[in-house]
Chain A
Amino acid sequence: MAKQQQRKQTVQSKKHEAPKKGDDLFTYLWHNLAVLGALGVVFLFFSQKFSDSHRMNELTEKFYQLRSQNPNSPELRDLYNEIIPLQQKVYSDTSFFTRITRGYDWAVNDLTLGNLKNIDKVKEEIQRNREDSTEQSYLEARLKRKIGLYSLFKYVNDNTPKNAVILLPEGDSAVSNTSKWNFIYDAEWSEYFLYPRLCVAIGDEKDHPDLAKRATHVIIIEGKGYDKLKYNVPAQLRQQEAVLPIDTPPAWLRVER
């Protein structure tokens, strides 16, 4: 009787100790890895799906880089021949599935990871040009690469007093409509670079009559803006890009005279 009871207890304790499915570390890890593997397959599927697009971008970048270094390079033709079929393949895939997943590929591979590579290249270039000697020069080096007009604004700031009121060129109907001039005719935009100086665009004087009356300088772009000056600048001395005081000629012009 006692033996039977003992056996029953042993069986019960064994039952109690019997590992649950999840108590087994190996099973636990294996199941985790299985789910992870399934996610990995999805990831690989997308990676494969957009591999042609990545290859095309890579080759196109290489093509333009090579062309800028040597436009007659024989390698250009090979690259071109490789790019065109890829381009046809990528652009012909307009399925709904591709359309709703392409954005994710762009966000991960181009926007995020691709940009890390680009930034490394820019950093190297800045370092090579010794533009990173001070924190300020490093910031300016990056600004110059992002804002085409930054150097012009810096020049304006270096050549005008802080209380100047600057006439900006008229809208893009008056100057070439290229990205070179960014939004120079937009006073709200240009003010960012010119503060504490104030500015108003030629043509917008009616909206800012106070500023227009107080204008002290004018930014010359593509040789335009000389008509706003109260003195004459001889044709041979006219620069394409400059900032000039409106009322009195600058010292260099007086010397020339």
Chain B
Amino acid sequence: MLVVGIILCYLLGLSLLLLISRKNTLAEMVGYSFLLGMGVETLLLFLLDIINLRYSAGLLTGLNVFGIIIINGLNYKNLLALKNEYKAPAFELKQLNLVATALFVFMAYLFYGITVKNLFWPASAHDAIGSFDKLGKVMAIEGKLKISLFDYKLEGAGGVYPPLFHASLAYVYIFGAETGKIVTSLFFLSLLTSFYSVLRVYVDATAAALFTLLLMISPELMSHAALSLDNLPTTAYVGPGALATFAWLDKRDRKYFWLGAILTGFAVWIRSDTVVFTAAALLVIGIDFLRSRNLKDAIIYAAIIVAPFIVWALYLKFKIHFADAAKFDFSIGYNTGRMDMMMGYISAYLFGGHYRGVDGGQLYGITFILFFVMILANLGLIYRFGARYILLDKMYVLVFFFAAFVLYFVVFYFINEQVQNAPLYSLMESSFKRGLFCFIPIVLFYSCTNYASSMVFEKIEKFRSAL
């Protein structure tokens, strides 16, 4: 039964993807189908809760089949065209990129390894047991989003988080899963394949595979591929959402406009603190509006990415009756001790340093260091190619990264430790550290596709393809 549920989720997502565009690569179909499908499934569970319909595998199967038929029915002209355009792939040894193939095989083996670990051990992380997995399990049993545990304040910290992650756990439990951790593996797979697919728009398969491997083995991120926590799934929405937005701004392929908007919208449907990425996305879309004067697109994009945040805030207020305590303490003002502590942690995480027992290099490896090195390398190229040319290259990525990071910093700087029930150092060593996952796909995307890297990869590719 679980297999049926997962296939339905993929088919629903694939139907939506084909509705957005009929031209998709295999990596896009694997990556985006699950992200779109699971996002919609959780919206469905939310709506069923609103209209007081109890969840069941039968009801969800029926709704999925109905949804898939309707979407494909609306899209039948595109599907017919797709059928006519389809060509059986011809294999030629000379088209085989041996380097990329070797990297894929290695990644597949690593994915197998981490998935075996993930599926073998039941959920055991404190937050998974105290919150996410519990919410998912009880949602599946009680058949609603607002479970009875809310009445006794036993829902756990994740109870006030938007429902995408725990509702995705509920979805697989409804279809009879033994543990909900299968969704972690599927989110991880989707993150990797969608990341690869956007990189392929810019660079050759070798470079794309190499950077996908770097994303995959980012130590702290990879460790979460065997846990039932929401940080990796959040990255699976923030990363591909941001990258699709960049691809839209660069290439003007309509497909990326919709993917960027929908996935960034789902990012605040999984965690509300990702609103810093919503703000960064609004900033780059705003800049683009000033250049392109396309008000309609800007409004549609903004509406899609902001709506889930508002919907969840209303649900918390009117259905959960959540008393929103002051999450921020702006009376802190400028506090040297606080600032020094945060800067200490940040420099450890970003530049591979040590701070209060934290070894940043062990957690993120070369990820952020490479990003800053590439910025410097590009600045060095200004002399050769001119400032305008170099500065405009991937400008949106840099604006997005720095805007989101500054906001992210501000959120933690002003966070109310009493409401969070944790001191700042503890928040920096857990929440802040894990929140950095969302920046990894963005910085690796920049490191791979910037002007300096592209020049190097072009030369390697020219040699590899013997041209």
Q: Which residues of A pack against B, CB within 8 Å?
A: 20-22, 24-25, 27-36, 39, 96, 99-104, 106-108, 111-113, 115-116, 119, 122-123, 135, 139, 142-143, 146-147, 183, 186-189, 191-193, 195-196, 198-199, 207-208, 210-211
Inter-chain contacts of A135 with B (CB < 8 A): 178
Q: Give 10 closest A-B pairs by Cβ, nearest first.
A: A103-B219, A99-B361, A112-B113, A32-B98, A100-B361, A22-B466, A189-B130, A100-B352, A192-B134, A188-B130
1/0 per residue B353-397: CB within 8 Å of A? 000000101111110010000000000000000000000000000
Inter-chain contacts of B93 with A (CB < 8 A): 25, 29
Q: Is there an interface contact between A32 and B362, defined as CB atoms closer than 8 Å? A: no
Inter-chain contacts of B126 with A (CB < 8 A): 183, 189
Q: Is there an interface contact between B362 and A188, defined as CB atoms closer than 8 Å? A: no
Inter-chain contacts of A139 with B (CB < 8 A): 122, 178-179
Nearest CB in chain A: distance from B7 CB, A: 21
The binding surface of chain A is classed by DSSP as helix
Q: Is there an interface contact between A146 and B133, defined as CB atoms closer than 8 Å? A: no
Given A32-B98, A32-B464, A102-B362: 18 more A-B contacts, CB < 8 Å: A21-B467, A28-B466, A29-B93, A31-B464, A34-B463, A35-B99, A39-B102, A101-B361, A103-B364, A115-B116, A142-B122, A146-B122, A147-B129, A189-B129, A191-B130, A192-B137, A195-B138, A199-B154
Interface positions, chain B 317-357, Cβ under 8 Å from A, are: 352
- From A35, A99, A113, A199, B352 is in contact (CB under 8 Å) with A99
Q: Is there an interface contact between B102 and A36, defined as CB atoms closer than 8 Å? A: yes
Q: List 18 A-B contacts (CB under 8 A).
A: A25-B94, A29-B93, A30-B466, A32-B98, A39-B103, A99-B359, A104-B217, A111-B114, A111-B222, A115-B117, A142-B122, A147-B124, A189-B129, A191-B130, A192-B134, A193-B129, A196-B141, A208-B152
Q: How far is B97's CA from A25's CA once the two chains are assembled, in angstroms? A: 12
Q: Is B460 an interface residue (CB 8 A)?
A: yes
Q: Is there an interface contact between B129 and A192, defined as CB atoms closer than 8 Å? A: yes
The answer to whether A27 and B217 touch (CB under 8 A), given A33-B98, A103-B362, A188-B156, is no
- From A30, A103, A119, A183, B365 is in contact (CB under 8 Å) with A103
The answer to whether A36 and B466 touch (CB under 8 A), given A107-B217, A119-B120, is no
Q: Is B465 an interface residue (CB 8 A)?
A: yes
Q: Is B243 an interface residue (CB 8 A)?
A: no
Inter-chain contacts of A195 with B (CB < 8 A): 134, 137-138, 141, 149
Q: Is there an interface contact between B361 and A35, defined as CB atoms closer than 8 Å? A: no
The answer to whether A31 and B466 touch (CB under 8 A), given A191-B154, A195-B138, is yes
The binding surface of chain B is classed by DSSP as helix
Q: Is B223 an interface residue (CB 8 A)?
A: yes
Q: How far is B359's CA from A114's CA once the two chains are assembled, in angstroms? A: 22
Q: How far is B367's CA from A249's CA once the two chains are assembled, in angstroms? A: 61
Q: How far is B95's CA from A32's CA once the two chains are assembled, in angstroms? A: 11
Inter-chain contacts of B61 with A (CB < 8 A): none
Q: Closest B-chain residue to A146, C-beta based? A: B124
Interface positions, chain B 128-174, Cβ under 8 Å from A, are: 129-131, 133-134, 137-138, 141, 149, 152-157
Q: Is B274 an interface residue (CB 8 A)?
A: no
Q: Is there an interface contact between B131 and A35, defined as CB atoms closer than 8 Å? A: no
Q: Is B121 an interface residue (CB 8 A)?
A: yes
Q: Is there an interface contact between B138 and A211, defined as CB atoms closer than 8 Å? A: no
Inter-chain contacts of A30 with B (CB < 8 A): 466
Q: Is B44 an interface residue (CB 8 A)?
A: no
Q: Is B226 an interface residue (CB 8 A)?
A: yes
Q: How far is B149's CA from A192's CA once the two chains are assembled, in angstroms? A: 11
The answer to whether A104 and B122 touch (CB under 8 A), given A112-B222, A191-B154, is no
Q: How far is B223's CA from A142's CA once the two chains are assembled, in angstroms? A: 19
Interface positions, chain B 57-107, Cβ under 8 Å from A, are: 93-94, 97-99, 102-103
Q: Is B206 an interface residue (CB 8 A)?
A: yes
Q: Is B2 an interface residue (CB 8 A)?
A: no
Q: Is there an interface contact between B153 and A208, defined as CB atoms closer than 8 Å? A: yes
The answer to whether A198 and B154 touch (CB under 8 A), given A96-B352, A99-B352, A192-B130, is yes
Q: Closest A-chain residue to B369, C-beta based? A: A100
Inter-chain contacts of A146 with B (CB < 8 A): 121-122, 124
Nearest CB in chain B: distance from A222 CB, A: 22
Inter-chain contacts of A193 with B (CB < 8 A): 129
Q: How far is B290's CA from A220's CA once the two chains are assembled, in angstroms? A: 67
- From B114, B121, B152, B466, A27 is in contact (CB under 8 Å) with B466
Q: Is there an interface contact between B99 and A142, defined as CB atoms closer than 8 Å? A: no
The answer to whether A112 and B154 touch (CB under 8 A), given A20-B467, A25-B93, A103-B361, is no
Nearest CB in chain B: distance from A164 CB, A: 13
Q: Is there an interface contact between B117 and A104, defined as CB atoms closer than 8 Å? A: no
